[in-house]
Structure 1
Amino acid sequence: MTHSQHTANVLQSSPSRIDADAAASIRPLECIELFAGCGSMALGLQQAGIIHQLMVDVDTYASRTLSANRTTFGKSDRLLISQADVRHIDWHAYAGVDLIAGGPPSQPFSGGGLGAGQHDRRDLWPEAIRAVSEALPRAFVFESAPGLLRPSFSQYLDDLVARLERPCGVREDVQYKVTVVPLNAADYGVAQNLRRVLIAGIRQDCGSLLEFGPNTQS
């Protein structure tokens, strides 16, 4: 059974989310975010009680927006906002961080684009994997366009999940439980039909995955 088939079965039965309750009861969880954009994911994470150490985006206007709203993202005195190319960042400096989050560019997989996938220079999923492999966070959550679930990308998704499950390759002691969750923001009270895909994982020595939150509009 391929990963794409397996995740489809998981999604039909019990989609999952990160179980961070135990850690959150001791101290606030800390996060670094790649491809932070204008901060929509960061705002949601902040509302969940997660504190950002670092937010990175290469776009000038996105970075300016983040900087202008830095007090929105929790403890601003600890937050570094960096306009940078993630390909030039050494993530070892953030080893052991609680959470890595972000939204790698979705254009290579979007139904409205060319569908070039890994052959599109904007495919930066390998950089998301590198961040996980170098920092080895307790957990990660990434989001993308639903086009990533198209049959034409099934092998890509299989390989992506496999690499996130074992980001260090030969190290048997570092493995992640990974789940793929499609969702529509409208099902959670947002006044917009916005379909996305979440890819979340937790390091196996840190906990387990629980059911993803139910549709609040049904």
Structure 2
Amino acid sequence: MAKTKSLKSVELFAGGGGMALGAHQSGISPILFLEWEKNSCETLRRNSQSSFGLPATRILETDIRVFNVDQIPEAFDVLVGGPPCQPFSIGGKKNGHEDVRDLFPEYIRVLSKTKPKAFLIENVKGITSNRFKDYIEYVHLQLEHIDGCPQSDGDWQKQLPRLRKLSSKSPKIIQCC
């Protein structure tokens, strides 16, 4: 019987490795973790050297806003990540896209440049509130039309109508939550 090829992943906003562990237990092998927070990187290092179950993986300790996708060492299949939740958290100030910690645009930038076979993205329940309804629709539409999304000007309100028009011509459906 032929051995099944393991999927390879890159994980953005890796934190201490919780999502990576779940992905690894599901047969996805990480090739790179990207995390800027020093203590989280140390936790990743310790978790990959222990019986925790996380394989030894390259950790790139840097801010995603300066990350160059050319630093990814090889082709991969799945982009994994959970952008910071504070902009959308019920316990936070709920500044959404106006919060400097809103890094959904950076996740989408990496996704659009690398074009893996699949992606996994997660965030807090608060992002589904009415307050962020238009913004999360914009994020969904960008994910649905990854090749047709200008990333640079940052004015998502101006891009949303165009993406809605694109979406009306597309059979794709993205489910959330």
Name the TM tier (shorter chain): 0.7 to 0.9
Offset of 1:150 from its aligned partner? 0.3
State the number of aligned residues: 152
1:178 is displaced (CA, Å) by 5.7
Q: CA deviation at 1:114?
A: 1.1
Q: SS at the partner of 1:179? A: coil
Give the conservation status (yes or no) of the 8 Å contact 1:93–1:135: no
2:60 counterpart residue number: 82
Structure 2 counterpart of 1:54, from 8, 32, 51: 32
Matched, 1:30 2:30: no
User: Displacement, 1:168?
Assistant: 2.0
Q: CA shift at 1:111, angstroms?
A: 1.0
SS at match of 1:105: coil
- Counterpart for residue 179 of structure 1: 174
What is the identity, as a one-letter code, of the residue corresponding to 2:20?
Answer: A
Instruction: Give unpaired runs (5+ residues) of structure 1.
Output: 1-24, 183-218
Distance of 1:126 and 1:144 partners within structure 2: 14
The alpha-carbon deviation at position 180 of structure 1 amounts to: 3.3
Equivalent in 103, 106, 114 of residue 127 of structure 1 = 106
CA contact (8 A) 1:97 1:136 kept: no
Counterpart among 107, 126, 131 of residue 86 in structure 2: 107
| 1:29 shift after superposition | 0.2
Q: What is the root-mean-square deviation of aligned Cα atoms in Å? A: 2.2
Q: Is the 8 A contact 2:144 2:174 kept in 1?
A: no
How far apart, in 2, do the equivalents of 1:178 and 1:36 lie?
Answer: 27
Note if contact 1:37-1:63 (Cα within 8 Å) is conserved in structure 2: yes
Paired AA for residue 138 in structure 2: D
Q: Structure 2 length as normaliser, TM-score?
A: 0.79
Pairwise CA distance, 1:96: 4.9
Equivalent residue of 1:158, what SS? helix
Larger RCO of the pair (alpha carbons < 8 Å, separation 6+): 1
Are positions 1:158 and 2:153 aligned together? no
Amino acid at match of 2:59: I
Report what 2:148 is aligned to: 169
Q: Which position in structure 2 is the counterpart of 1:91? A: 69
Is 1:103–1:144's contact at 8 Å kept on the other side of the alignment?
yes
Task: Tell me the CA shift for residue 140 of structure 1.
Answer: 0.3
Give yes or no for contact 1:130–1:167 (8 Å, CA) kept in 2: no
The answer on whether the counterparts of 2:108 and 2:143 sit within 8 Å (CA) in structure 1 is yes
Shift of 1:92: 4.6
AA aligned opposite 2:48: R
Deviation at 1:143, TM superposition (A): 0.7
**CA apart distance, 1:99:** 0.2
The runs of 5 or more residues in structure 2 that have no matched partner are: 150-165
Partner amino acid, structure 1, of 2:174? T
What residue identity is the alignment partner of 2:124?
A: A
- Percent sequence identity over aligned pairs: 35
Residue aligning to 1:203: none
- Is 1:43 aligned to residue 54 of structure 2? no
Contact 1:51-1:73 within 8 A present in 2 as well: no
Q: C-alpha separation between the residues in 2 aligned to 1:65 and 1:152?
A: 34
Counterpart position of 1:64:
42
- Aligned-residue offset at 1:26: 3.6
